[in-house]
Amino acid sequence: MNRSPENSASHSTGPLVDQFGRGHTNLRLSVTDRCNIRCFYCMPAENVQFRPRVELLTFEEMVQFVQAVVPLGINKLRLTGGEPLVRRGLASLISQLRTIPGLDDIALTTNGILLAEQAAGLKAAGLDRLNVSLDSLDEQVFEKITRRTGLDAVLKGIAAAQAAGFDNIRLNAIAIRGLTESEIVPLGRFAIEHGLELRFIEFMPLDADGAWEESDVLTGTEIRRTLEAEFGKLTPVHRDDPSQPAVDFQFVNGGGRVGFINPVSEPFCSSCNRLRLTAEGQIRNCLFSHEEWDARAVLRSELEPAQREPAIQDLVRSAIGAKAKAHGISEAGFQQPARAMYQIGG
């Protein structure tokens, strides 16, 4: 369901707080729905229908949106896709975003295929942090998941990012029962040896084929047991940010951190502080929402710039006001969103 600007209601000024008292300070901004691999948990293998380029927001429109929501308390931004590095001129967008007062942190999630050639430019543009998706260090498993080659390019991209000066690079590994159990220890060892932070993410029902089953979920608890059997007991790390989705631990040998994002087995909806904007300008208040609010219509309207910003703010408030208490994955009657992960933004 798409809600047009006409359906938004005007709200008072102040922070973005929903009806359950959750404040929102984090924006996930998808810059494209295109990608250079085809991970089965995110998109179809072939014949993908991407949005026509004219429907995607321009960089100028993205900057306008961010400028409108920062005064509402948004101070963290993550650029996603699709694969954001396939969008030409991404460093230029980051440079523009970097000038917005009040925006404290700009991060990016990438599959790493193009990172080696872009890492230095991203750092120079002002990107603060990087998350690199890496589900396997085994070429065969990598190709089974991504349905493409490219593991070596990802590893070179990680090395280039470290050389460019990115600290605390996070590796994101999707945990899928019957497929990635063998990857847990090698990924843990790789992270320790290279000074990387590792996060395991439970497989969620956002695949384009709609084939997800709860039995496919390899839980964070199981992964933790596997890691402790190999590396020793993991020590809990205090959360500086109570809204962060990961529960973090320290390897006893001091070799780094490992975190677990468990949206299925241990939902963290009660502390969710995230808002999403799709590549074509639709506001989503949850990954699993069935409603969207049309920011592109406002950004491309005939409103004067001075009127456009409050119109966007009202639309965002409407979206936050309609946010559900929880995603309901394990509840009776749960329906997977019509849009897959690549269409929403990771």
Question: pLDDT tens-digit profile of 194-235?
Answer: 999 999 999 999 888 888 999 999 999 999 999 999 999 999
Angle at the Cα of 187 (from 217 to 161), degrees rounded to 5?
115
Q: Would you mind telling me the total number of residues written for the chain in this entry?
A: 346
Residue 9: predicted pLDDT: 44
**What are the pLDDT digits (tens) for 314-328?**
999 999 999 999 998
pLDDT digits (tens, 9 = 90+) for 88-99: 999 999 999 999
Phi, psi of 20 (to 5 degrees): -105, 10
Please list, in sequence order, all residues whose beta carbon lies within 8 angstroms of the beta carbon of residue 152, skipping any fewer than 6 positions away.
none
Q: Please say if the pLDDT value at position 243 is more than 90.
A: no
Q: Determine how many CB atoms are found less than 10 A away from the CB of residue 304.
A: 8
DSSP 8-state assignment for residue 260: E
Q: List binding-site positions for S-adenosyl-L-methionine.
A: 41, 82, 133, 204
Domain boundaries, the chain: 2-344
Confidence of residue 6 (pLDDT cuts 50, 70, 90): low
Binding site members for [4Fe-4S] cluster:
35, 39, 42, 269, 272, 286
Q: What is the pLDDT of residue 4?
A: 63
| H/E segment holding residue 59 | helix 59-69
Q: Alpha-carbon torsion 46, 49, 52, 55, what sign?
A: negative
The pair of structure tokens assigned to 339 is 């849009």
**104-116 residue pLDDT tens:** 999 999 999 999 9
Q: Which residues are annotated as a binding site for GTP?
A: 28, 78, 109, 274-276
Query: Of 134, 106, 138, nearest to 122 (Cα)?
Result: 106
pLDDT confidence of 335, banded at 50, 70, 90?
confident
Question: For the domain with range 2-344, which CATH number is right: 3.20.20.70, 3.90.76.10, 2.40.30.10, 3.10.20.30?
Answer: 3.20.20.70
Q: What residues form the annotated binding site? A: 28, 35, 39, 41-42, 78, 82, 109, 133, 204, 269, 272, 274-276, 286
Burial class (CB in 10 A: 0-12, 13-18, 19+), 189: middle
